[in-house]
A and B are shown apart, each in its own frame.
Chain A
Amino acid sequence: MRVTQGMLAANSLKQISNSYNKLETLQNQLSTGKKITRPSDDPVVATKGMAYRSNLSEVNQYKRNLTEAQSWFDNSESGLEQVNSILQRTKELVVQGLNGTNGSDDRQAIAREIEQLKMDYMQVGNTQVAGNYIFNGVNVGAPPISENTSGMIESNINLDPFSIEVSKGIQLRVNIHAENIFGQGSFDLMNNIQTAFEQNDVSSLKDLSTQLDTQISTLLAERSELGARSNRLELIGNRLDSQEITATKMLSDNEDAEIEKVITDLTVQESLHRAALGVGAQIIQPTLLDFLR
């Protein structure tokens, strides 16, 4: 083939420009850390990347929801712990009251303590966390337990579960069955015990003592259920952690550049570029004219 100066120049320019393009691609990869800069570089990577990102975003959100659920469990648990102390103290007082050595005055004193315990019980039922009444189902804006005008305690608990989505499609109930612990029956029982002491009515105390035992075992049952759900949450948490790792890894595998490879390629490309420039300068310069006098 007949080759002319113009062709050499054009070719040389084309090669150098190609070389610049490759350098640009590699430098982009290096500075962004990504394999691709635009979707057309690799449509599969691009669309997968979108899916992985929304996946990761969901996992992160579920982890946040999980923290929220954990906070409900912790606060509920400490409420139940307080109720437990109240009931145990009441039990002690009832056992003490059944003892025949107590006089009428002693029983009046016990009645006062029971009254205080009852009020305490009510306050626990109205526990607020971040402005939410956690023992009132979904009606978190209103206290579940109140004192009416005649001083009687009224419990009106919302029965709906407060659920939080902790994983795609999995909703976990985060509140306890408050009606079992803070229902009208519990306060009636406390009230009856108080009245029995006030009226020195030892015979009915025996029956009330049995009811109190039932209440305590209900509490235990509720605590173990809460514990079981907390365990489940922990399992879901572990799963979310590993999902996050997997999703992050997939995202990275999909679109992150291998830096050591990019740097090696860049070094190779740089030397090729240097060579292309050098050769171009050598080839283009001399013509026959340089050797004619």
Chain B
Amino acid sequence: MSSTFHGLQVAKRGMDAQQAALYTIGHNVSNANTPGYTRQRVSLETFPAYPAPGMNQAGTAGQIGMGVEASTVERIRDTFLDTQYRDETIKVGYWDARAGALEKMEEIMNEPTEDGLSAVFNQFFESIQDVASHPSEAGSRSVMIERAEAVGNTFSYLSTSLKTIQGDLQKERDVAVTQVNSLLEQMNNVNQQIQNVEPNGYLPNDLYDERDRLLDELSKFIPVSVEYTKSGENASAPSEGVVTVQLQTSRGPITLLDGQNHQVNAISLKTNQDSYVTEIHIGGQSRNPELFPQGKLKGLIEASGYIDSSGDKTGVYASMIDHLDEMAYEFVNWFNDKHQQGVTLEGNKGISFFNDVSQKEGAATGIVIADKIKQNTNNIAAASGAAGTDRQGDGQNAQLLSQFRQNVLINSGNQDVSLDGFYQSIIGQMSVDAQQANRLKSNSETLQGAVEQRRQSTSAVSLDEEMTNMIQFQHAYNASARMITMIDEMLDKIVNGLGTGGR
């Protein structure tokens, strides 16, 4: 026999449970636009029935239900999609960093246009040809010097601009490291909060969301794998525990965040005097930048330059700067060499046209016309043959000089190429690299978008759905309340209406 007030208790529980569901709907609706928010659902379960089933229970026919209970509030989320999403995010981060760096480089190199290095080469060629056909004319000689100056300035401008962007990328890279470390620190805090709450049987859903959001964020920079360790004591079954984050490298994993011991192993970069990365330190281990896994950080390291395992400077900008230096070096040496073989307007043996450049490194910023040439245009050695004053109309050497683009030989990959060929091939290489980076960036963004769609499809808040649920729970709440009124009437009948016969 159940108690008199049984019905009141059942109805009250009903109201409590529907209220919990309504509050959760309120929470969902409020967070409909919160980044990383996962919609939550209250699991409604029937309250253990009376009497509990058993052999010696005082028998009533069947059980009387004791109503409903709001057992847990759970997130609706698919962790498999999280892994997929983060895998794509890693690629997006890497290709985005690379594409961004190459895009700036394309802007600097500015080819093919009327202002790029190859256009300046064209003008220089034309001015030397003019000297070849008017060797005795001071005007055409002056123009040739101006154009040579333009060649030097362009080389220098390109090299300096590339170095400036490289410097910016190095700063961006350092900021990225700081961000990674800060994310790990934040995750550590969230871990601690989770560990404080879970043992009491609570499900800190919003903390889980925060942690997952931080993991999404982190996976832009570096690829990580996560492991969960359950909290002890009275933790409820769906609780997730604290997270341990590891960086997977080709030489085994390195722990970035130890969840149980609340320890963060920060990443730090070791750089040389040019700010090229030489080594990456994490938690007492170090990795060569080459072995560092893909991600935005790797993209930035590759773009801004690092020292590879054989000790060479490598990287998108580093190699372009090197190529320009090599071109400048070969150009100046070839030009000087040929110029020295000529004869000046005054009949003397030719001197160096440009100041000598002794080493490849920095050659692009060191193309300076020799003072003697600048001061006296007659010192341009346009004539060929033996020294003497009777060769003012000889432009044979100038003609030879005008072939600077076809004849300068640069050894590139065991193949001798002309200056023009070399320049076209480095521009070609740059454009192909940029094209690839853009394509893969766009591809990985598309894939990331698709996974994000599926994730949203599972976890995002739908206002229509929440409103429908709200109506549903509201009616259930109202009905429970109506139950109380009904029981009230029933009790009224029992208390005030019974036993009044004959009154």
Contact = CB atoms under 8 A, between A and B. Distances in A.
Given A40-B435, A160-B394, A289-B467, A50 B133 contact: no
B134 A138 contact: no
Given A38-B103, A38-B107, A39-B427, A140 B136 contact: yes
A57 B427 contact: no
B460 A4 contact: yes
Nearest to A10: B456
A269 interface: no
Contacts of A57: 122-123, 125-126
Given A49-B112, A141-B393, A68 B428 contact: no
A136 B392 CA distance: 10
A61 B129 contact: yes
A6 B461 contact: yes
B303 to A, nearest CB: 15
B278 interface: no
A46 B125 CA distance: 21
Pairs of residues from A and B, 8 with the lowest C-beta to C-beta distance, nearest first? A140-B393, A40-B434, A39-B431, A43-B431, A49-B112, A57-B122, A141-B392, A4-B462
Contact of A142 (B134, B383, B390, B423): B390
B399 A4 contact: no
A211 B133 CA distance: 37
Given A2-B462, A14-B449, A39 B430 contact: yes
Contacts of B123: 57
A47 B130 contact: no
Given A51-B424, A141-B389, 19 more contacts: A1-B453, A1-B454, A6-B456, A38-B107, A39-B109, A39-B431, A46-B111, A46-B431, A47-B425, A49-B112, A53-B118, A54-B121, A58-B122, A64-B126, A138-B390, A139-B392, A164-B395, A171-B399, A255-B112
A19 interface: no
B449 A3 contact: no
Contacts of A255: 112
Interface in B91-126: 102-103, 106-107, 109, 111-112, 116, 118-119, 121-123, 125-126
Given A160-B394, A255-B112, A3 B132 contact: no
Main secondary structure of the interface of B (DSSP, over half): helix
Interface residues of B, number: 66
A72 B464 CA distance: 89
B464 A139 contact: no
Contacts of B135: 140
A2 B458 contact: yes
Interface string B54-66: 0000000000000
Contact of B468 (A2, A65, A142, A288): A288
Contacts of B463: 4-5, 287-289
Interface residues of A, number: 54
Given A165-B399, A287-B463, A292-B467, A46 B112 contact: yes
Nearest to B109: A39
A7 B424 contact: no
Contact of B393 (A11, A42, A139, A292): A139
Contacts of A61: 125-126, 129-130
Contact of A43 (B133, B390, B428, B456): B428
A69 B395 CA distance: 13
Contacts of B102: 40
